[in-house]
């Protein structure tokens, strides 16, 4: 029986059809999806903090409205993704507990501070740019609810990226001090943005199995290369440089050569020891605790409503 189910699962994956919540799936497939989707959801929710930091200090009403909309979108992406984990049997409350207890990860990128308003532009351009590069292939991931969530999320990420690039273009047309601010932000965010794609393939414990299950459609290094190739002409048009002396076009490969991020720093950050890890998690924990009364009120309301219906 299990052999039949396993064969059907393998066939569905191999034929590029989607696995749906009620289909049989190997335990490891379910566990891997819950891990990846939960980390992704946590990243969206924690990722609201570095930008939320600037909403009250945006330089104009227009920039404030854009930033508010972007941060709200991120909350929506997080909730959408938590809903996808629920289709796999995960419990949203438990996932949040694991996040605030440091038992589940979120993207390393959100452990760096946002020092100036140029960081808002660079997060949109580079961080959302990396997110899109990583997530567009996930629209073809083998698990249906995750693939469908990615389609909508990618559309919104595209708006996020465009607003960031437009913000930077505006600053680059401004004063020398504004141009310097943009270059400084690019210098600080370039290497962390390369780390978003995960460790080099040789150190990526999950890639091989995730590719076989078609959860991941590309390796970490493939996507990192694609991102570098995509970003270089955008930087030239903007008038900024990347802080990498090894970055240059390789005509033979048809790709840019580039240097490696500091992988020791990456593992430190992933291990909870980056510049803002404790601040981010403490803030999330406080928001979760402060929201307890809302969850209790919602549950009490739902219980009363269902009692009324039964009665
Ligand atoms: N940070 O074996 P692999 C956004 C962990 S976009 C922290 O290669 P995998 C939008 C990894 O989980 C950001 N941990 O892992 C936004 C694994 O942990 P384990 C979120 C990382 O899963 C923009 C271990 O290292 N996007 O939020 C990182 O096959 C602006 C070994 O690594 C997604 O999550 C990292 N950078 O590949 C919001 C996309 N990299 O097994 C606000 C979906 C690796 O020890 C503002 N996720 N690790 O528990 C993925 O595509 C994959 O999970 C990868 C990692 C590619 C991130």
Residue owning the nearest CA to atom 42 of ligand 1: 47
Could you read off the pLDDT of 188-217 as tens digits, one per residue? 999 999 999 999 999 999 999 999 999 999
Which of these, 120, 94, 117, lies nearest to 41 by C-alpha position?
94
**CA–CA distance, 206 with 218 (Å, rounded to integer):** 12
Read off the pLDDT of residues 170-189 as tens digits, 9 standing for 90 and up: 999 999 999 999 999 999 99
Q: 165 CA distance to ligand 1 centroid (A)?
A: 24
Residue nearest to atom 53 of ligand 1 (CA): 36
213 contact partners, CB below 8 Å, separation of at least 6: 13, 29, 32, 142
For ligand 1, the distance from its centroid to the CA atom of residue 300, given in whole angstroms, is 36
Q: 76 C-alpha vs ligand 1 centroid, how far in Å?
A: 19
* Complex-level ipTM beyond the 0.95 threshold: yes
Q: With 70 as the cut, is the pLDDT of residue 131 above it?
A: yes
Q: What's the mean pLDDT in 52-65?
A: 96
pLDDT digits (tens, 9 = 90+) for 254-276: 999 999 999 999 999 999 999 99
- Residues 75, 46 contacting (CB under 8 angstroms): no
Rounded Cα–Cα distance for residues 137 and 181 (Å): 33
Whether the CB of 12 sits within 6 Å of ligand 1:
no
Mutate to test the pocket of ligand 1, among 107, 120, 143 (most ligand atoms within 8 A of CB): 107
Q: What is the pTM of this model?
A: 0.96
Distances in Å between the alpha carbon of 212 and those of 15, 138, 175, 224, 287? Answer: 13, 14, 51, 20, 38
So what's the pLDDT on residue 1? Answer: 67
Q: In sequence order, what are the beta bridge partners of 249? A: 256
């Amino acid at each position: 029986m299990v052999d039949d189910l396993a064969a059907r699962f393998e066939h569905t994956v191999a034929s590029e059809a989607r696995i749906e919540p009620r289909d049989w799936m190997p335990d490891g497939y379910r566990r891997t999806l819950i891990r990846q989707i939960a980390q992704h959801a946590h990243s969206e929710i924690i990722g609201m903090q570095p930008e939320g930091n600037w909403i009250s200090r945006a330089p104009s009403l227009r920039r404030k409205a854009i930033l508010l909309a972007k941060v709200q979108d991120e909350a929506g992406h997080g909730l959408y993704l938590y809903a996808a984990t629920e289709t796999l049997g995960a419990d949203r409350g438990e996932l949040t507990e694991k996040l605030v207890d440091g038992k589940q990860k979120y993207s390393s990128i959100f452990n760096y501070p946002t020092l100036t308003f140029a960081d808002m532009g660079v997060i949109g351009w580079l961080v959302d740019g990396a997110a899109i590069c990583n997530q567009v292939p996930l629209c073809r991931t083998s698990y249906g609810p995750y693939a469908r969530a990615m389609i909508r999320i990618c559309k919104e990420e595209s708006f996020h990226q465009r607003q960031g690039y437009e913000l930077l273009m505006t600053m680059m047309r401004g004063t020398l001090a504004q141009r310097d601010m943009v270059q400084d932000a690019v210098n600080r965010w370039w290497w962390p943005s390369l780390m978003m794609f995960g460790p080099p393939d040789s150190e990526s414990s999950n890639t091989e199995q995730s590719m076989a299950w078609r959860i991941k459609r590309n390796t970490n290094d493939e996507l990192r290369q694609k991102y570098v190739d995509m970003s270089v002409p955008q930087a030239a048009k903007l008038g900024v440089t990347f802080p990498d002396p090894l970055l240059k076009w390789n005509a033979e490969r048809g790709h840019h050569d580039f240097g490696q991020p500091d992988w020791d720093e990456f593992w430190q950050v992933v291990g909870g020891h980056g510049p803002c890890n404790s601040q981010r998690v403490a803030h999330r924990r406080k928001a979760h605790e402060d929201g307890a009364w809302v969850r209790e009120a919602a549950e009490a309301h739902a219980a009363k409503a269902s009692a009324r219906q039964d009665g």
